[in-house]
Amino acid sequence: MLQMTYYPGAALPPGVLAEVSGLRADVARLPAGVDRAEDRRRLAETLRGCSTVCVLRDNLGEAQGLWATREQVLTVAGRRCLLIYADQVWLRESARGDAAFVVSTLRHGLALCARARCHRVFIGGLANPLSYNALQGWFGTLRCLAEGDIPAAERSLLEAVAKALGERWDGQRARARLLVLPPHIPSHVLTRPGAAERIAHYEALNPDWADGWGLPVVGRVPWVRVAAMPVRSVRRALRRPAARLAAALTR
């Protein structure tokens, strides 16, 4: 399993920033004509605005993945909700499927729940077709503002996500400008159960996705599915933060 190191975004060391900038440059597709120095500056600004940055490294100490999040506690319909916004997620091919990604994100999420004393947890972010397919398959129900009929709670959370996007948000089309171009859709993905239908639904909502547009989405964390995860290393790594969460919610 890859090694996990957490950093506060506001105090991200310059060396780590250079490391993750190189990782992103290797795996991301930048639009034509984008100045790479300006892109690195913009990435640094984005990461320093995040509460937590997690870097996943191999045994040689080389970065294979990272994720960065921001959090917000909102009261919706009289109930406290924790919104975890996944601002950046970048993984090399070698890191995809590694247990460290699941362990690190769930450990972080459980610790946030314990501190916020809140069990209604939603994950938000900007989705491209591939991430939408994966998230919709895991959450079961994923919401976006481009859909007309969505519950009030999810609508409030999505509006908070849209507001945070600033000038990148296109309210008329309910979409946002991505900082990089989305990955192409491999043909083998479309052969998986339900994938073709989910991606077709996404493309109907966001037909210009290939030009660098994404859909803000939110999904409520399915705790039943999390609790049933069979990976022994995941359960062992999450045992202590899960106990803290249970204690916080029963006070």
What pLDDT, on the 0 to 100 scale, is given for residue 228?
A: 64
CA distance 175 to 172: 8
Q: What is the pLDDT along the chain (251 residues), one digit of tens a residue?
A: 899 999 999 999 999 999 998 898 888 888 777 788 888 888 899 899 999 999 999 999 999 999 999 988 888 778 888 888 888 888 888 787 788 888 888 888 888 888 877 778 888 889 999 999 988 887 778 899 888 788 888 888 898 888 888 888 998 889 999 888 888 898 999 999 999 999 999 999 999 999 999 999 998 887 766 666 655 545 555 554 444 444 443 34
DSSP 149-209: ---HHHHHHHHHHHHHTGGGEETTTTEEE-SSBPPP--GGGGGSTTHHHHHHHHHHH-TTG
- Amino acid (one-letter) located at 193: P
Beta-carbon contacts of 23 under 8 Å, excluding residues fewer than 6 positions away, are: 63, 64, 65, 66, 90, 92
The Cα–Cα gap between 4 and 107 comes to: 11
Phi, psi of 180 (to 5 degrees): -135, 165
Residue written as token pair 């034509």 = 32
Residue 90's CB is within 10 A of a number of other CB atoms, namely: 20
Of 62, 33, 30, 50, the closest CA to residue 182 belongs to 30
Give the residues across from 144 on adjacent strands. Answer: 217
